[in-house]
Amino acid sequence: MRSMIPSLALSLLGALAACASTPAPAPQPAPVTLMAETSTNPDWKALVPAPIPTDIPNRHLEYALTWFGLAVTLVAIFGVFVWTRRRATPQERG
């Protein structure tokens, strides 16, 4: 059994080395959208100015309430944990 472990380890190391030497394919870049407010180059007809979108959602209050709610919940759970530990007798604590 002991003579089998080194040969198994060497075969695993060889497989790992073969995997490490094979380069992974490069990920495809994300698409990019460019918006121009004004035409900086009138000769370039492909550049069509567009107004800045006014319908950008303003959800800051929703996010703030979510995170503060999670924080209050965590403090409450910790408070219950401490309260139950203090009420327990030393024998119950273990």
Does residue 79 form part of some domain? Answer: yes
- Reading the block at residue 53, the tokens are 């979108």
For residue 71, is it within any domain?
yes
Domains held by the chain: number: 1
Higher pLDDT among residues 28 and 82, named by residue = 82
Per-residue pLDDT tens digits for 4-28: 556 666 676 677 666 666 677 777 8
Residue numbers of the domain that contains 71: 60-87
Tokens of 23: 């380069």
pLDDT reading at 31 higher than 90: no
Query: First vs last Cα of the chain: how many Å apart?
Result: 43
Q: Is residue 73 part of a domain?
A: yes
Of residues 25 and 94, the one with the higher pLDDT is: 25
Whether residue 54 lies inside any domain: the answer is no
65 in any annotated domain: yes
